[in-house]
Structure 1
Amino acid sequence: MIFLFPSDYFNPKKADAAYSEQAACIKNAGFATGVISLESLGTGSSKIIPAPTPGSKVVYRGWMLSPGDYELLVSVIESTGASVLTSKAEYLATHYLINWYPLITDFTPETKFYSVDDDFWTLDKKTGSRIVCEQNE
């Protein structure tokens, strides 16, 4: 089992500062760790340092990724002969509220989902709900 962290932007061989303590704890517990530059995922030049052992399972511990970026991450991991513990389908099912909300509707207040392209001022009038949007000046 290898735990993979996003790398520090200025030192690509170290874990991002937000994850450095967690990476150290996992390493001290006897697990292997690695880092990857998330900024280079789409360039085709992203590498895992150190490279996972072929046949090993990789657990990603880092910033939430878009579906496309997670797919790129999986591709980089699989190119080393390793595999991910969490498939893309599992990642999307568990990391995006809109995908798992239907499983908890009986236990939580009603939640409405809107697209970033929706006109919130019109929705506010249609739903009778108050939608607050703050604007930075």
Structure 2
Amino acid sequence: MATTTATTTTVLYCRDPLNERRADAHFAAEARQLRAAGGTALLIDHDALLAGDAERAVARVPEGTGAVWYRGWMIPSGHYAALDAALRRRGGELAVTPEAYRRAHELPGWYETFAGLTPVSGWLPAGPGEVPDPEGLAALAAGLPPGAAVVKDYVKSRKHEWDEACYAPDLADPAALHRVVARFVELQGEFLAGGVVVRAFEHFVTPRAAAAEVRVWWRDGAPRLVTAHPDSPVAEVPEAPFEPALEPALEPVRAAVEALGCPFVTTDLALRADGVWRVVEVGDGQVSDLHREADQAAFVRLLTADQAPLHAPAPSGTTPA
């Protein structure tokens, strides 16, 4: 008679820079919650990983750990691949492959899949300190709708420096666009990820008494949790009888998430002024932050897959409407 063996969810957390035996303070409560739920929390050295020493980064990970999740600070895609390779040499591997991580983490990886659900965008590859020339930016802008735009890299924007390094008021003004891009590149410094992205600006509004931007956590193509965006001053998320409600908007997003084919994804949604929910960002769930007031027990159940989806997934072989 066949027997089944329960598997334990193992998660790699960033260690505290001052104490290699403890999880970083930002993730410590989540790690405790994981252990309380029967999971295993292991520690890696994030600083060593970013410094190019993946072997030292995983020195405290036991041999033969098998598939593990990562939960911690963002990792550039190349370093994430190095982490996976170092784990494989120790009999482990990341549950999210380097290819899937890059696809969800960087805008060029997910943009085409979410076309129609997200602002029109274009991008130019660039390294740290490299400012695209005005002609190249003008050609990029020509492919976007006329009007304002937002500047970012493949992963992050600098929305807290909105006027100087994020918002370009008019794409028809190439000098102003170049000035914003140059300042963005300057402020990003060595952390510039992939290149420069220019996105059409869309006007978003704040639902009544709720977060202006919500984060939907998807596990294996199903929406498992909805939280406020971590930057939101309020934790409440829009729900019925709010009109237009968030729930119907998840169906087209579900189809895109399924097509993306990544096991752990976040989508950040905001309500446009015309009442349409829009995807403003996609990310890998391993490096997506959780709102400070979110239910960490519910999040750990998501991570261990011990939770039903918010909505039943589409039957196998069907095409979502």
Bucket of the pairwise TM-score, normalised by the shorter protein: 0.7 to 0.9
Code of the aligned partner of 2:71: R
Aligned to 1:18, what secondary structure does the other structure show? coil
Contact 2:45–2:56 (Cα < 8 Å) also in 1 = no
Distance 2:36 2:99 in 1: 31
User: 2:63 matched to 1:63?
Assistant: no
2:93: which partner in 1? 83
Taking a change above 3 Å as real, the CA distance of residues 45 and 15 of structure 1, as seen in their structure-2 partners, is same
**How far apart are residue 70 of structure 1 and its match?**
0.5
Q: CA deviation at 1:120?
A: 6.5
- What amino acid does structure 1 have at the position aligned with 2:47? E
Aligned to 2:58: 47
Give deviations 1:12-33, integer Å, cap 9, x for gaps: 1211111111111111111001
The DSSP-based 3-state class of the residue aligned with 1:7 is strand
Decide which of 17, 23, 27 is 2:25's aligned counterpart.
17
> Contact 1:35–1:48 (CA<8 Å) still a contact in 2?
no
- In the alignment, structure 1 residue 31 sits paired with structure 2 residue 39: yes
2:211 corresponds to which residue? Answer: none
1-side partners of 2:58 and 2:136: how far apart? 45
Q: How far apart, CA to CA, are the structure 2 residues paired with 1:24 and 1:97?
A: 32
Which piece of structure 1 moves more, 18-27 or 117-126? 117-126
Question: Is the counterpart of residue 111 in structure 1 residue 109 in structure 2?
Answer: no
Letter in structure 2 aligned against 1:100: W
Structure 2 stretches of 5 or more lacking a match?
Answer: 1-8, 142-169, 188-321
State the 4+ residue runs in structure 1 displaced beyond 4 angstroms: 120-126, 133-136
| 8 A contact 2:14–2:24 mirrored in 1 | yes
Q: Which runs of 5+ in 1 are unaligned?
A: none
| Aligned-residue RMSD, C-alpha | 2.4
Q: Deviations over 1:29-76 (max 9, x none)?
A: 110010100222223423343x34625210011122112211121122
- In the alignment, is residue 96 of structure 1 matched against residue 106 of structure 2? yes
**Greater fraction of residues in helix:** 1
Structure whose alpha-carbon radius of gyration is higher: 2
**Residues 15 and 124 (structure 1), Cα distance of their counterparts in 2 relative to 1, 3 Å cut:** same
TM superposition shift of 1:119? 3.4
The structure showing larger relative contact order (alpha-carbon pairs under 8 Å, at least 6 residues apart) is 1
2:83 to 66, 73, 76: 73
Give the Cα separation in 2 of the matches to 1:63 and 1:57: 19
Q: Does 1:4 align with 2:12?
A: yes
Percent identity of equivalent pairs: 23
- Measured after TM superposition, the shift of residue 122 of structure 1 is 5.0
Q: Which has the higher strand share?
A: 2
Q: What SS does the corresponding residue of 1:3 show, helix, strand or coil? A: strand
Contact 1:58 1:77 in 2 (8 A): no
